[in-house]
Amino acid sequence: MALGLGGCGKQSILSTRSKPAHDIALLWWWMLAAATVVFLGAVAMLAVAWFRRERPGLPFVGEREDLAQGMVLVFGIVVPLVALIGLFGVSDVYLVGQTAPPNPRTTRMTIDVIGHQWWWEVRYDGGRAITANEIHIPANTRVNVVATSADVIHSFWVPALNRKIDMVPGMRNRVLLYASTPGVYRGQCSQFCGLQHANMSLKVFAQRPDRFRAWLAGQERPGATPQGAQAAAGQRLFMNAQCASCHTIAGTPARGTVGPNLTHVASRTSLASDEIPNTPKWLAAWIRNPQKIKPGDRMPDLGLSEPQIAQLVAYLEQLR
Amino acid sequence: MTRHPSTVLVWFGVLGGAVAWAAQFVAGLAFTFAQCNAPPGRWDLPVQRWQSGLAIAGIVVGLASIAVCVRLYRQTRDVDHAAETERLGKGTPPPVGRINFLATTGLLVNVLALSIMIMTAIGAPFLRLCQQA
Amino acid sequence: MATTVSPRAKQYTDELDRLWTERPGVLGWLTTTDHKRIGIMYFFTTLAFFGAGGVEALLIRSQLIGPNGHVLSPQAYDEVFTMHGITMIFLFVIPMTTGAFGNYLIPLMIGARDMAFPRLNALSFWIFLGSGLFMYAALLQGHAPNAGWFDYVPLASKQFDPGNNIDYYGYGLIFNGISSTIASINFIVTIFKLRAPGMSLNRMPLFCFAFLAVAFALLFALPSLSVAALFLELDRQLGFHFYDAAFGGAPLLWQNLFWIFGHPEVYIIILPAFGIATSIIPAFVHRRMVFFPLVALAEILVAFLGFGVWVHHMFTVGFSTLTTVYFAAASLIIVIPSAIQLFAWIATIVTGTPDFQTPLLFIIGFIVYFIIGGLSGITVAAIPFDQQVHDSYYIIAHFHFVIFGAAVFPILGGMYFWFPKVTGRVYHELTGKVSFWLTFAGTFITFFPMHIVGILGMPRRNYTYPPDMGWTLLNFIESIGSYLLAAGLILIVANLAISYFRGPRTDPPFEGDTLEWATSSPPPPYNFAVIPTVRSPYPMWDKEDRERDNQRLERGEGLLNLEHATPATTVQDAQLDEILSMPSHSPWPPLTALALTGVFAMLVMQHYWIAFGFLVVGGLTLLGWHQNEEQA
Amino acid sequence: MTDAAGQVPRSAHAERSRAAAAVDRSRAAQPSGWWGMALFLCSEATLFGTLIGSYFYLNFGSHRWPPAGITPPEIPGPAISTAVLVGTVPLMVLGAAAARRGRRWSAVRWIVAAFVIQIAYLATQVLLIRHDLLDFTPQGTAYGSIYFTLLFADHAHVLLGLLLNGAVLYKVARHGLTNYWLIGVRGLALYWYVVVGITVAVLFTVLSPSL
């Protein structure tokens, strides 16, 4: 079981890449060990009861009431009291300070993550770069995440990197994001937030600092101007169809804020908050019929013709 | 046993610690909500000092009622409970068995209430002021 | 006890029969104030709701049996898991324990002839029935509550849930709360005032301590829920702003109010189970409970400490550590009363001579699962770990072991245990054992893998999940387990149903220690011909006392056969204080409940004046209530 | 206690005031009806505890309380009318005492006196609320929501008390001070003690910004 827990699973709380997450996993293993001992002990007593069902009392103890009562006092009060106060000190006084949000001076950068039904808006240094559902961070760097919500309560959770933190309207909760090794870490909304709660996941890309800087620089540029007639038509369509009223593409008239910012949508690996891969085929399918892929999603069926969809895809694919 | 303790004393023994816990719990909580959930600087309360103070006050009360319970328990330790039913009727003094029962239970109530208050009293000062959990 | 009675005694019992027997037929059941009949009505109603909640559970598991399941649409899934929670908690466990078991057994255990307020007792049943149908009406209309049983705002606000799904939730819970409040007041007064002479607090059955604790917890927890629901409906229907951050409201206010109710609620669910366990164990272990006073107190203490732990449902909302420390401490210490009871049960079983019949088997299952659920509960009282697994399947596993494994198993065991008492027949033992092992295995296979799925990061309340997460196999196992579990439960019901018609008419195959076994099975309308006198917490094992009762019946002493009467005693020491005439059958309670149902139906439809009209009608029925008031 | 049934009173037989008072004196414990009312009031008190807690929870969480544009409540009006309501407590005490001594009509007189004052109190409160509503509404801000909800909840309880007054007075005047209605009078008095206490607590809560 231990192997199963530690190894498999993209979202296991036990395959950890940061100190807080690691400490929590360690706490878990210790608690599991202690719990196993208690459980087996209690079950053993019940087994004894089965084997001695014909005979009253216990070996050595006999039927002395005071010893039976002493057993209750020791196992029911003394032992638990000691164990629980110990657990209280370790977890709720010491460790809780380690998983608490970082002291502002100790972090290199701040990212605002805003929960929407049902996607994540990610803003770098105050909105100079805005993306969605895919958070890039430099590895081995303490990042301060400010978690807020645009509508209902969501919960930001990347198990491999840290505990979860709720996104509550009117509150600015914070959490440390730190990855000891480069890699892709999956996260998911863990507070029920409506119809598509199940499909509100995200990816954290921990990159070598130079790679990250390059990526950020790219994200800060305005959206690419379309190359070729097909893509140009796609841009016109984007601006005239409903698209622009919900989505933003920096450097164009599209200024909508209901849906994700698409300035560099083609640079992402997935669509619909990590539900489908970001390939032309899937992008077309998504534009054709989003309600089929994500029932109840805010993105409506636009009733576009196949040629129009092809044009939009051509345009969006150039937004790298 | 000849003399019968007053009902008030018995019930103080049973409930003293519990009530003390409830009081320090509600009051201390109100302080943390006021200080830590308000926009910064709306109030400036020495929360942790209050938390510790309240907890210690509660601990004192809890110890007092433990003392009461111990005394009652000793007074009523060895009685044959069934025997005394015979003189159970209107206006007769409370059966010793019940006093003993309440004293025993009171001991547990107070021990647990005390341990919660002690944990808070020890825990609070170690935590950073209004650090978000 | 089917002892042969002399003609003299026969004559006395006939007089009592004349005084206490109610109208026969449907009308008799509609107007009944007999706690036994009300208990039975509660039993069948809650059993029906249990069935509904079980079907909902099976739908959930069928949807999740594989990745990208299509059994339910997202909308349907949200409604189904919400109704599953509401049903199991508000329409099954609480009414089944307090309503059915409590109503039927408490007066019998304390040697009374009825509850303290028989008509209020009927009223609380009819209101419960109304509230249950009210909430299920929403499901039938296809817009059942859909924001989860704890219904967090702003998701549940008008803006994000414009239909009236949530209104059924808000009003339904207030409605249901009225019933529970009335019932709990009735229980407390009954236990305080109607105990048999001599049953001083230290001689009260542990079952009664548990139900006393439950009644007090309900009494003080429900107002918080009602206030939360009231605020919710004011926000939704009249445009108030309690929970709207944009207007100075606080979404977390809902969470606080809800969990101030919601955590005591958990103990309200589990405590009757403790009570049932402590009445079944001595009967089959042939031994008194170890450390009676501590067990009795532990039951009360759990309910009391339960009010100080609610924020452990909110460790991830961003409160300050100075706030959470209170709840962490209380949440850990509340383990101890449970540990005391646990080891008292184990010590009793291990030092006694247990006879592993079906009811005891269910209690063993309860103990095992309560240990698992309790231990996983301790792990989530460690704040950092809770911040990882909060709202993951780990939590689902934890509270299903506590609520199903620990709270429902004793209910099932109790159904077997008191079946002979209620019906006068005996269930089929072997089928009973088989049904236990089915249920036991099913429970484990269904809920244990959820710990692991949770550790692997699967959040709760997902209507689907992708195939590549390592969750697929475990979810498949869970679903299979749930079908096994359903089979076990059906077998239990079938066993009891068939035994009701075919079972042998013999005395119970075990020796209970409390007073309900002192009367015939099924009990006569007046419960006890002679009001028993009590000298220990195990009155049935004081043979000479019960023998004395029979002699007094021969002499016609302590019969109270002049009128429809039961004795009242003093609160602490149960000294005989006065003889109360009890009300008998009354048509008013169901009418009052009907009027109330009208009130809430109209509120949901926002016809406020018609609702007010129904309220006035309800008030008038209360006047009719007091037409004949010779009763004290 | 062999056949104590003979020694203890059969309360239902107390149809006359004198007999009812005798039963009341002979009781060692409070009657069931009294306990029922006491527990119901526990529940109501908890309800108001929760409402008042919510008031301060919202207060603590906000920048200004009351929010900008709403003047803090004036003290005199509510304070004086509540003081008058507190004045009815001794009347109820006397009423209950008279009933327990079996003095049916003096009990009725005391309760009627309290009844009149309580009606006057509710009337003035209604006027005060209407005056508040001109200033701000429950739909405007969370402050308005909790402020008016608190007051409405409190007044609803006063109104219920008035209805109970009416019912009990009618029954006692019509059917006499039976054991049942003697307990009724005691329950009514208890109800008013608690509701008046709640009213005072609510008063201090809503006035807290001005104190």
pLDDT at B37 over 90: no
pLDDT at res. B48 = 84
Half-sphere exposure of A296 (CA within 13 A, CB side): 19
pLDDT at position C2 is 44
Average pLDDT, chain C: 93
For position C491, what pLDDT does the model report?
97
For the stretch A53-85, pLDDT in tens is: 988 888 777 788 888 899 899 999 999 999 999
D134 reaches C (C-beta below 8 A): no
Residue C9 tokens read as: 């005694």
In angstroms, the separation between the Cα of residue B4 and the nearest Cα of chain A is 27
Q: Is there a contact between C415 and C355 (Cβ–Cβ < 8 Å)?
A: no
* pLDDT on residue A7: 52
- Interface check B44 vs D, CB under 8 A: no
DSSP at C151: T
How far is the first Cα of chain A from the last one, in angstroms, to the nearest whole number?
A: 43
Distances in Å between the Cα of C234 and the Cα atoms of C172, C579, D141 are 14, 47, 13
Phi first, then psi: give them for residue C146, nearest 5 degrees: -140, 20
- Tell me the C-alpha distance between C432 and C489, whole Å: 11
Does the pLDDT at position B82 exceed 60?
Answer: no
ipTM > 0.90, yes or no: yes
Interchain proximity C630–D36, CB inside 8 Å = no
Which residues of chain B from 59 to 118 reach within 8 Å of chain D, CB to CB? 88-91
Gap from B130 CA to chain D (nearest CA, Å): 14
Q: At which residue do the structure tokens 């190359």 appear?
A: A227
Do the chains contact at B108 and C315, CB–CB below 8 Å?
no
How far is the CA of C476 from the CAs of C29, C74, C452, C482, in angstroms? 45, 20, 13, 10
Q: Which of C271, C226, C223, C237 is nearest to C101 (CA)?
A: C271
Of the candidates C323, C535, C575, the beta carbon closest to that of B32 is on C323
Say what the pLDDT of residue C510 is. Answer: 84
Q: Which of C198, C293, C300 sits opposite B88 (nearest CB)?
A: C198
Closest CB to D60: pick one of B34, B88, B89. Answer: B34
Give the C-alpha separation, A165 to A143, whole Å.
Answer: 15
Does the distance separating the beta carbons of B92 and C575 come in below 8 Å?
Answer: yes
pLDDT of residue C632: 37
As a 3-state breakdown, chain A gives helix, strand, coil percent values, each rounded to 5, of: 45, 20, 40
Cα–Cα nearest to B101, from B2, B9, B14, B8: B14
What residues in C contact A23, CB-CB < 8 Å? 384
B87–chain C nearest CA distance, Å: 10
Q: Is B1 a member of any domain?
A: no
Reading the block at residue C179, the tokens are: 């019933």
Q: Is B85 an interface residue toward C (CB < 8 Å)?
A: yes
* Subunit contact C343:A76, Cβ cutoff 8 A: yes
Contact between chains at D179 and C632 (C-beta distance less than 8 A): yes
Q: Does A77 touch chain B (CB under 8 A)?
A: yes
Q: Please list every residue in chain B whose beta carbon sits closer than 8 Å to the beta carbon of residue D57.
A: 33, 37
User: How distant is the Cα of D94 from the closest Cα of chain C, in angstroms?
Assistant: 23
Using DSSP, how many helices (H) and how many strands (E) does chain B show? 3, 0
Judge whether residue B127 has pLDDT over 90.
Answer: no
Range of the domain at B33: 13-125
Nearest to A97 among B111, B119, B128 (CB): B128
Spell out, as residue ranges, where chain C has pLDDT lower than 50: 1-2, 630-632
Write the DSSP string, A146-190.
Answer: EEEESSS-EEE--TTT---EEE-TT--EEEEE--SS-EEEEEE--
Round to whole Å and give the CA distance between C354 and A63.
14
Closest C-alpha to C3, from C517, C360, C486, C465: C517
What CATH number is attached to the domain comprising D67?
1.20.120.80
pLDDT of B2 > 80? The answer is no
Three-class DSSP category at A300: coil
Contact across the interface for A68 and C148, Cβ inside 8 Å? no
Closest C-alpha among C297, A73, C295, C205 to residue B105: C297
Closest of C211, C206, C196 to residue C101, by C-alpha: C211
Whether B131 and chain A come into contact, CB under 8 Å, resolves to yes
Report the DSSP beta bridge partners of residue C277. none
- pLDDT bin (cut points 50, 70, 90) of residue B3 is low
The whole-angstrom separation of Cα C95 and Cα C91 is 6
User: Which residue of chain C comes nearest to A175, CA vs CA?
Assistant: C318
Question: Testing the interface with A: which of C456, C464, C474, C475 to mutate, by most A Cβ within 10 A?
Answer: C456
CB within 8 Å of chain C, chain D residues 112-131: none
**Amino acid of residue B78:** D
For A186-257, where are the alpha helices, taking DSSP H only? 209-220, 229-240, 243-246
Task: Tell me the C-alpha distance between C13 and C15, whole Å.
Answer: 5
Nearest-5° Cα angle at D196, D175 to D49? 120
Provide, as residue numbers in chain C, all residues whose Cβ is less than 8 Å from the Cβ of A63: 351
- B129 interfaces chain A, CB cutoff of 8 Å: no
Tokens of C530: 């002679």
C560 in contact with chain D, both atoms CB, cutoff 8 A = yes
Tokens 């009891």 -> residue: C496
The angle at the Cα of C133, spanning C127 to C137, to the nearest 5 degrees, equals 145
Give the pairing of strands A201-207 and A134-138. Answer: parallel
Q: How many domains does chain D have?
A: 1
Considering only CB atoms, which chain B residues are within 8 Å of D60? 33-34, 37-38, 42-43
Residues of A in contact with B111 (CB under 8 A): 77
Question: How many CB pairs (< 8 A) connect A and B?
Answer: 27
The reply to whether omega before C459 is within 30° of 0 (cis) is no
Q: Answer yes or no: is pLDDT of B36 > 90.
A: no
Residue D3 domain flag: no
Residues 49-88 of D with CB under 8 A from C: 49-51, 54, 57-58, 61-62, 67
| Residue D176 confidence (pLDDT) above 90 | no
Residues 6+ apart with CB under 8 A from A216: A124, A129, A136
How high is the mean pLDDT of chain A? 92
pLDDT of residue D5: 45
Q: Residue D10 and residue C581: Cβ atoms within 8 Å?
A: yes
Domain containing residue D90: 10-30+39-210
Pairwise pLDDT comparison (C154 vs B94), residue with the higher score: C154
Interface test with A, best of C253, C289, C351, C468 (most A CBs within 10 A): C351
* Average confidence (pLDDT) over B105-119: 90
- Is D158 in CB contact (< 8 Å) with chain C? no
Q: For the purposes of burial, counting CB atoms within 10 Å of the CB of A206, is it exposed (0-12), middle (13-18) or buried (19 or more)? A: buried
Q: Tell me which chain C residues have a C-beta less than 8 angstroms from the C-beta of A145.
A: none
How high is the pLDDT of residue C222? 96
CA distance A19 to A23: 6
Residue A162: list chain B partners with CB under 8 A: none
Are the beta carbons of D54 and C257 closer than 8 angstroms?
A: yes
On whether the CB atoms of residues C135 and C91 are closer than 8 A, the answer is yes
Cis omega (within 30 of 0) for bond into D66: yes
Query: Chains with ≥3 Cβ pairs under 8 A against A?
Result: B, C
* pLDDT tens digits along C379-400: 999 999 999 999 999 999 999 9
Q: What is the pLDDT of residue A146?
A: 96
Q: How would you write A54-120 as a 3-class SS string?
A: CCCCECCCECCHHHHHHHHHHHHHHHHHHHHHHHHHHHHHHHHHHHCCCCHHHCCEEEEEEEECCEE
Judge whether D183 is closer than 8 Å to chain C, CB to CB.
yes
A174 and chain B in contact, CB less than 8 A: yes
B22 touches chain D (CB under 8 A): no
Contact yes or no for D54 and C568 at CB 8 A: no
D60 and B39 within 8 Å at the Cβ level: the answer is no
- Report the distance separating Cα D160 and Cα A90, nearest Å: 53
Residues whose CB is less than 8 angstroms from the CB of residue C48 and which lie 6 or more positions away in sequence, other chains included:
none
B128 close to D (CB below 8 A):
no
pLDDT of residue B51: 86
Residue C74 touches partner D, C-beta closer than 8 Å: no
More confident residue, C19 or D146: D146
Q: What is the pLDDT of residue C6?
A: 82
* pTM of the predicted structure, to 2 decimals: 0.94
pLDDT for position A181:
94
Confidence (pLDDT) at A264 = 95
For the cut 50, the answer to whether the pLDDT of residue D2 exceeds it is no
- Residues C276, C200: Cα–Cα separation, whole Å: 21
Substitution target from A73, A77, A82, A93 for chain B, most B beta carbons within 10 A: A93
Q: What is the Cα–Cα distance from C151 to C171, expressed in whole angstroms?
A: 13
pLDDT on residue B43:
79
Alpha helices, DSSP H, located in C507-604: 543-555, 588-604
Distance CA(A215)–CA(A199), nearest Å, equals 26
Burial of D156 (0-12, 13-18, 19+ CB in 10 A): exposed
Q: How far is B27 from chain A (nearest CA, A)?
A: 21
Phi-psi region of A115 (alpha: psi -120 to 50; beta: other; left: phi over 0): beta
In a domain, D5, yes or no: no
Chain C: residue whose CA lies nearest to D26: C577
List of chains touching C (3+ CB pairs within 8 A): A, B, D
**Element (H or E) spanning C470, and its range?**
none
Mean of pLDDT values over A296-305: 91
- Beta carbons within 10 angstroms of residue D116's beta carbon: 12
The Cβ-side half-sphere exposure at C313, using a 13 Å CA radius, reads 23
**pLDDT (mean) for B83-109:** 71
The mean pLDDT value for D152-163 works out to 96
Could you give the number of structural domains in chain B? 1
Q: Report the pLDDT value the prediction gives residue B58, as an integer from 0 to 100.
A: 92
What pLDDT is stored for residue C631 in this prediction? 44
Å from A115 to nearest chain C CA? Answer: 13
Side by side, which strands form the sheet with A129-132?
A: A129-132, A119-124, A109-116, A143-149, A173-177
CB contact, 8 Å: B125 with chain A? Answer: no
Confidence at B83, pLDDT banded by 50, 70, 90 = low
- For residues C596 and C131, what is the distance between their CA atoms, to the nearest angstrom? 9
Query: Mind giving me the DSSP string for D37-70?
Result: HHHHHHHHHHHHHHHHHHHHHHHHHSSSSSPTT-
* Residue A255 burial (CB count, 10 A): 12
Distance from CA of D8 to the nearest CA of C (A): 5
Q: What is the side-by-side order of every strand in the sheet holding A134-138?
A: A134-138, A201-207, A183-188
- Using CA atoms, how far apart are residues A271 and A259, in angstroms rounded to an integer? 12
Taking the C-alpha atoms of residue C580 and residue D201, their distance in angstroms, rounded to an integer, is: 37
Residue pointed to by tokens 């475990």: C474
